[in-house]
Protein backbone atom coordinates (compact mmCIF):
# COMPACT_ATOMS: atom_id res chain seq x y z
CA UNK A 1 0.00 0.00 0.00
CA UNK A 2 1.31 3.41 -0.91
CA UNK A 3 1.98 6.15 1.68
CA UNK A 4 -0.93 8.36 0.71
CA UNK A 5 -3.27 5.38 0.92
CA UNK A 6 -2.00 4.58 4.42
CA UNK A 7 -2.54 8.17 5.54
CA UNK A 8 -6.07 8.22 4.10
CA UNK A 9 -6.95 4.94 5.85
CA UNK A 10 -5.58 6.24 9.16
CA UNK A 11 -7.60 9.47 8.96
CA UNK A 12 -10.77 7.53 8.13
CA UNK A 13 -10.35 5.39 11.25
CA UNK A 14 -9.61 8.40 13.49
CA UNK A 15 -12.59 10.39 12.21
CA UNK A 16 -14.95 7.48 12.74
CA UNK A 17 -14.14 7.48 16.48
CA UNK A 18 -13.92 11.24 16.92
CA UNK A 19 -10.92 13.55 17.25
CA UNK A 20 -9.91 16.45 19.45
CA UNK A 21 -7.63 19.21 18.28
CA UNK A 22 -6.69 22.63 19.66
CA UNK A 23 -7.20 26.00 18.01
CA UNK A 24 -5.50 28.90 19.80
CA UNK A 25 -6.04 27.38 23.27
CA UNK A 26 -9.66 26.43 22.51
CA UNK A 27 -10.70 22.91 21.60
CA UNK A 28 -13.40 21.44 19.41
CA UNK A 29 -14.53 17.84 19.83
CA UNK A 30 -15.88 16.13 16.73
CA UNK A 31 -18.05 13.03 17.04
CA UNK A 32 -20.26 11.26 14.54
CA UNK A 33 -23.20 13.51 15.42
CA UNK A 34 -21.94 16.71 17.04
CA UNK A 35 -19.21 19.31 17.45
CA UNK A 36 -18.55 20.51 21.01
CA UNK A 37 -16.35 23.40 22.09
CA UNK A 38 -14.76 23.76 25.52
CA UNK A 39 -15.32 26.75 27.82
CA UNK A 40 -12.59 28.79 26.15
CA UNK A 41 -14.23 28.55 22.73
CA UNK A 42 -16.33 31.75 22.40
CA UNK A 43 -16.20 32.81 18.78
CA UNK A 44 -16.32 31.42 15.26
CA UNK A 45 -15.35 33.91 12.55
CA UNK A 46 -15.53 33.37 8.83
CA UNK A 47 -13.47 35.25 6.27
CA UNK A 48 -16.19 35.10 3.62
CA UNK A 49 -19.85 34.18 3.22
CA UNK A 50 -20.51 30.99 5.18
CA UNK A 51 -23.31 28.52 4.53
CA UNK A 52 -24.69 25.96 6.96
CA UNK A 53 -26.73 23.47 4.97
CA UNK A 54 -28.53 20.68 6.83
CA UNK A 55 -30.45 19.55 3.79
CA UNK A 56 -34.12 18.79 4.35
CA UNK A 57 -33.69 18.57 8.11
CA UNK A 58 -34.60 21.18 10.72
CA UNK A 59 -31.89 23.47 12.10
CA UNK A 60 -32.28 24.30 15.81
CA UNK A 61 -30.47 27.36 17.13
CA UNK A 62 -30.54 27.42 20.91
CA UNK A 63 -28.50 27.98 24.05
CA UNK A 64 -28.19 25.96 27.23
CA UNK A 65 -31.01 26.64 29.70
CA UNK A 66 -32.80 28.80 27.12
CA UNK A 67 -30.32 31.67 27.23
CA UNK A 68 -30.66 34.58 24.80
CA UNK A 69 -29.76 34.16 21.14
CA UNK A 70 -28.38 37.47 19.87
CA UNK A 71 -27.95 38.73 16.31
CA UNK A 72 -25.65 41.50 15.16
CA UNK A 73 -26.59 44.70 13.36
CA UNK A 74 -26.46 43.16 9.89
CA UNK A 75 -29.56 42.24 7.90
CA UNK A 76 -31.30 38.90 8.40
CA UNK A 77 -32.54 37.60 5.07
CA UNK A 78 -35.27 34.96 4.75
CA UNK A 79 -34.75 33.47 1.30
CA UNK A 80 -37.98 32.13 -0.18
CA UNK A 81 -40.11 33.44 2.70
CA UNK A 82 -43.07 35.42 1.40
CA UNK A 83 -44.71 38.39 3.10
CA UNK A 84 -47.87 36.37 3.67
CA UNK A 85 -45.89 33.63 5.42
CA UNK A 86 -44.10 36.15 7.61
CA UNK A 87 -47.29 38.00 8.48
CA UNK A 88 -49.31 34.89 9.16
CA UNK A 89 -51.67 34.70 6.16
CA UNK A 90 -50.07 31.74 4.40
CA UNK A 91 -51.61 28.26 4.65
CA UNK A 92 -48.47 27.12 6.48
CA UNK A 93 -48.66 29.85 9.11
CA UNK A 94 -48.30 29.23 12.81
CA UNK A 95 -50.21 31.20 15.43
CA UNK A 96 -52.68 34.01 14.90
CA UNK A 97 -53.58 35.12 11.39
CA UNK A 98 -52.80 38.77 10.64
CA UNK A 99 -53.74 39.84 7.13
CA UNK A 100 -51.37 41.97 5.08
CA UNK A 101 -52.87 45.42 4.66
CA UNK A 102 -55.03 45.28 7.77
CA UNK A 103 -52.55 46.57 10.31
CA UNK A 104 -49.17 45.27 9.14
CA UNK A 105 -47.22 46.05 6.01
CA UNK A 106 -43.92 44.70 4.71
CA UNK A 107 -41.71 46.91 2.57
CA UNK A 108 -38.24 45.63 1.76
CA UNK A 109 -36.82 44.56 5.11
CA UNK A 110 -39.16 46.73 7.19
CA UNK A 111 -42.26 45.38 8.96
CA UNK A 112 -44.50 48.27 9.97
CA UNK A 113 -47.57 48.47 12.19
CA UNK A 114 -50.38 50.72 11.05
CA UNK A 115 -51.46 53.49 13.40
CA UNK A 116 -54.93 51.91 13.33
CA UNK A 117 -53.57 49.18 15.62
CA UNK A 118 -53.35 51.80 18.36
CA UNK A 119 -56.48 53.73 17.45
CA UNK A 120 -59.54 54.34 19.56
CA UNK A 121 -62.69 56.41 19.58
CA UNK A 122 -64.25 58.62 22.22
CA UNK A 123 -67.90 59.59 22.27
CA UNK A 124 -69.07 62.68 24.16
CA UNK A 125 -72.68 63.80 24.56
CA UNK A 126 -74.11 67.20 25.52
CA UNK A 127 -77.75 66.89 26.53
CA UNK A 128 -80.02 69.88 25.83
CA UNK A 129 -77.20 71.95 24.30
CA UNK A 130 -77.21 75.58 25.37
CA UNK A 131 -74.81 78.49 25.38
CA UNK A 132 -75.50 79.10 29.08
CA UNK A 133 -73.68 77.20 31.80
CA UNK A 134 -73.04 74.35 31.80
CA UNK A 135 -72.34 74.49 28.09
CA UNK A 136 -69.39 72.13 27.79
CA UNK A 137 -68.06 68.64 28.46
CA UNK A 138 -64.48 67.44 28.98
CA UNK A 139 -62.28 64.32 28.72
CA UNK A 140 -58.62 63.47 29.30
CA UNK A 141 -56.07 60.68 28.62
CA UNK A 142 -52.81 59.74 30.32
CA UNK A 143 -51.06 59.27 26.97
CA UNK A 144 -50.68 61.35 23.83
CA UNK A 145 -53.50 61.29 21.28
CA UNK A 146 -53.50 62.49 17.67
CA UNK A 147 -56.87 63.37 16.14
CA UNK A 148 -57.72 61.76 12.82
CA UNK A 149 -61.37 62.75 12.47
CA UNK A 150 -64.15 64.37 14.50
CA UNK A 151 -67.80 63.64 13.74
CA UNK A 152 -70.94 65.10 15.31
CA UNK A 153 -74.71 64.70 15.11
CA UNK A 154 -77.81 66.42 16.47
CA UNK A 155 -81.15 64.85 15.61
CA UNK A 156 -83.23 67.92 16.46
CA UNK A 157 -82.01 71.41 15.74
CA UNK A 158 -78.45 72.53 15.14
CA UNK A 159 -75.57 72.89 17.56
CA UNK A 160 -72.31 74.67 16.80
CA UNK A 161 -69.29 73.68 18.84
CA UNK A 162 -65.77 74.88 19.51
CA UNK A 163 -63.26 72.22 20.53
CA UNK A 164 -59.99 73.01 22.24
CA UNK A 165 -57.53 71.62 24.77
CA UNK A 166 -56.72 72.75 28.28
CA UNK A 167 -53.68 71.93 30.38
CA UNK A 168 -55.71 69.73 32.75
CA UNK A 169 -59.20 68.72 33.80
CA UNK A 170 -58.94 71.28 36.58
CA UNK A 171 -59.24 74.24 34.21
CA UNK A 172 -61.46 75.31 31.32
CA UNK A 173 -58.97 77.95 30.16
CA UNK A 174 -58.27 77.54 26.47
CA UNK A 175 -54.74 76.38 25.66
CA UNK A 176 -55.09 75.76 21.91
CA UNK A 177 -57.92 75.25 19.44
CA UNK A 178 -58.42 71.81 17.97
CA UNK A 179 -61.40 72.92 15.87
CA UNK A 180 -62.60 76.51 16.11
CA UNK A 181 -66.11 75.73 14.81
CA UNK A 182 -67.99 72.52 14.01
CA UNK A 183 -71.71 72.50 13.17
CA UNK A 184 -73.78 69.48 14.12
CA UNK A 185 -77.22 68.82 12.65
CA UNK A 186 -79.54 66.02 11.58
CA UNK A 187 -77.34 65.30 8.55
CA UNK A 188 -74.26 65.19 10.75
CA UNK A 189 -71.01 67.09 10.53
CA UNK A 190 -67.35 66.12 10.44
CA UNK A 191 -63.83 67.40 9.93
CA UNK A 192 -60.32 66.05 9.39
CA UNK A 193 -58.72 69.50 9.51
CA UNK A 194 -57.41 70.65 12.87
CA UNK A 195 -55.76 73.78 14.19
CA UNK A 196 -53.94 71.54 16.66
CA UNK A 197 -54.18 67.79 16.10
CA UNK A 198 -52.29 66.58 19.18
CA UNK A 199 -53.52 66.21 22.75
CA UNK A 200 -50.62 65.80 25.17
CA UNK A 201 -50.73 63.37 28.13
CA UNK A 202 -52.69 64.83 31.02
CA UNK A 203 -54.17 67.60 28.91
CA UNK A 204 -57.95 67.80 28.64
CA UNK A 205 -60.26 67.92 25.64
CA UNK A 206 -63.07 70.46 25.99
CA UNK A 207 -66.20 70.67 23.79
CA UNK A 208 -68.10 73.92 24.21
CA UNK A 209 -71.44 75.07 22.73
CA UNK A 210 -71.12 78.42 20.97
CA UNK A 211 -74.57 78.64 19.33
CA UNK A 212 -77.78 76.70 18.71
CA UNK A 213 -80.67 76.85 16.25
CA UNK A 214 -84.09 75.32 16.72
CA UNK A 215 -84.45 73.24 19.87
CA UNK A 216 -81.55 70.78 19.95
CA UNK A 217 -81.95 67.99 22.52
CA UNK A 218 -78.68 66.11 22.27
CA UNK A 219 -75.36 66.84 20.55
CA UNK A 220 -73.18 63.75 20.07
CA UNK A 221 -69.50 64.09 19.22
CA UNK A 222 -67.23 61.23 18.16
CA UNK A 223 -63.44 61.57 18.22
CA UNK A 224 -61.29 59.17 16.18
CA UNK A 225 -57.71 59.23 17.43
CA UNK A 226 -54.45 57.29 17.41
CA UNK A 227 -52.29 56.60 20.44
CA UNK A 228 -48.69 57.75 20.37
Candidates 153, 147, 151, 152; CA nearest to 120 is: 147
Q: For residue 79, what pLDDT is reported?
A: 64
Domain definitions of the chain by residue range: 1-44, 83-113, 118-227
- Asked if residue 160 lies in contact with residue 183, where contact means CB atoms within 8 angstroms, the answer is yes
Q: What is the pLDDT of residues 20-76, one digit of tens each?
A: 544 456 677 777 777 777 777 777 777 777 777 777 877 777 777 777 777 777 776
Q: For residue 219, what pLDDT is reported?
A: 94
Rounded mean pLDDT, 162-167: 96
Q: What is the pLDDT of residues 74-118, one digit of tens each?
A: 776 666 655 555 555 555 444 444 444 445 666 655 666 665 556
Candidates 208, 161, 207; CA nearest to 184 is: 161
This model's pTM is above 0.75: no
On the 0-12 / 13-18 / 19+ scale of CB atoms within 10 A, 30 is middle
Coil, strand, or helix at residue 158?
Answer: strand
CATH T-level topology, domain 118-227: Jelly Rolls (2.60.120)
Report the distance separating Cα 87 and Cα 101, nearest Å: 10
Amino acid sequence: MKLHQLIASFLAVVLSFGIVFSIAHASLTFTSSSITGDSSFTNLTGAATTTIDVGAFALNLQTTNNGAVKFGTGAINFSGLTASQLLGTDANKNGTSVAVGTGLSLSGGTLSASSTLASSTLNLTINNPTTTAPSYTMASWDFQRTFQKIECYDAVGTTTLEIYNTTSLATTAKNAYIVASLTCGASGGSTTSFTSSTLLPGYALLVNVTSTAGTPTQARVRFITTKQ
